[in-house]
């Protein structure tokens, strides 16, 4: 087989403690999976069926210094637990879902909130609010063999040393096995998928020059600084 253009590079995430890397296929994101965040976004916190949106694989970047995104005056942070999928499948049973997991990482779902609000008001898709370049900074993945399957523990984000978001994984409306099982009824999960599992309350603006520090107990830390 001969490709018509130069073969695009594969997006990868480092694996903690290994020379191997994790190849990324898709980034699938759960919306409003913490009750207090649902409330702060003006929605009902009840346990409704989860909904999902996507970011392209190329949105994934490591922590470090990043350029400030274009086309926004209201960039927001959303700290999340990320699930890395090792084996795919469709209609996966909840009881079997965790057997499909390779490991976990800390991620940021960066959001151009102004573009999202405009799209919502116009009843248009908000892909460009979520799936822009470098919109998914991510820590190295820690394999299940090293961390197990974290279901409780602190998740937080600081901006310039000030705590902005603070919660516990136990507060997720849809737990990881339930999320993966439900998602697999909508699309066939594939090896290389990353699933971002929602953010606790406290989302807010990020300015040029801000330094972000994110943490999930047992999983790791992520630091991002935006250029001025």
What confidence tens digit (pLDDT) does each residue in 159-170 have? 999 999 999 999
Within the chain, where are the H helices?
35-40, 113-121, 127-130, 144-147, 176-183
- On the question of pLDDT at 204 being above 60, the answer is yes
- On the question of pLDDT at 86 being above 90, the answer is yes
Map out the domains of the chain with their CATH numbers: 12-226 (3.90.850.10)
Q: State pTM to two decimals.
A: 0.96
Separation in Å, CA 33 to CA 29, 110, 184: 10, 16, 17
Percent of all residues in the chain with a pLDDT value above 90, rounded to a whole number:
92
Q: How confident is the model at residue 42 (pLDDT cuts 50, 70, 90)?
A: low
- Predicted confidence at residue 39, as pLDDT, reads 53
Q: 186 and 117 in contact (C-beta within 8 Å)?
A: no
């Amino acid at each position: 087989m001969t490709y018509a253009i130069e073969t695009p590079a594969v997006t990868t995430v480092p694996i903690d403690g290994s020379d191997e890397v994790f190849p990324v296929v898709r980034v699938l994101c759960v919306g409003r999976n913490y009750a207090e965040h649902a409330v702060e976004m003006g929605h009902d916190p009840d346990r409704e069926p989860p909904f999902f949106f996507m970011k392209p694989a190329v949105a994934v970047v490591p922590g470090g210094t990043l350029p400030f995104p274009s086309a926004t005056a209201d960039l927001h942070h959303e700290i999340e637990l990320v699930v890395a999928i090792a084996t795919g499948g469709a209609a996966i049973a909840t009881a079997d879902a965790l057997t499909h997991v390779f490991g976990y990482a800390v991620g940021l779902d960066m959001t151009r909130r102004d573009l999202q609000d405009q799209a919502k008001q116009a009843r248009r898709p908000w892909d460009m609010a979520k799936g822009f370049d470098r919109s998914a900074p991510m820590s190295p993945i820690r394999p299940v063999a090293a961390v197990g399957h974290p279901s409780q523990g602190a998740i937080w984000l600081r901006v310039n040393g000030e705590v902005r978001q603070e919660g516990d994984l136990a507060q997720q409306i849809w737990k990881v096995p339930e999320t993966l099982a439900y998602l697999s009824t909508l699309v066939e999960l594939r090896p290389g998928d990353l699933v971002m599992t929602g953010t606790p309350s406290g989302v807010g603006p990020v300015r040029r020059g801000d330094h972000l520090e994110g943490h999930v107990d047992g999983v790791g830390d992520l630091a991002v600084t935006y250029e001025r």
